[in-house]
Amino acid sequence: MKITDVKQNHGKSGLVDLHNQILQCRLCQDTFGFEPHPIILGTSNAKIMQISQAPSKSVHETGKPFNDASGRKLRGEWYRISDEEFYNPDNFYIASMAHCYPGKAPGGGDRRPPKVCSKQWLLKEMELVDNQIYILIGGIAAEFFFPGEKITSLAFEDRKINGKPAYILPHPSPLNMKWFKDYPEFTEKRVLKIQKEVHRVLGI
17/13 Cα distance (integer angstroms): 6
Residues 141-185: tens digit of each pLDDT: 999 999 999 999 999 999 999 999 999 999 999 889 999 999 999
- Find the mean pLDDT for residues 124-136: 97
114/194 Cα distance (integer angstroms): 29
Residues 10-25: tens digit of each pLDDT: 456 799 999 999 999 8
Residue 176 neighbours by CB under 8 Å, 6+ apart: 170
Q: What is the pLDDT of residue 62?
A: 78
pLDDT at 63 over 80: no
3-202 CATH, one of 3.40.50.2300, 3.40.50.620, 3.40.470.10, 3.40.1350.10: 3.40.470.10
92/97 Cα distance (integer angstroms): 16
Give me the phi and psi of 21, to 5 degrees please.
-65, -45
Helix (H, G, I), strand (E, B) or coil at 165: strand
Q: What is the pTM of this model?
A: 0.89
In the chain, domain spans: 3-202
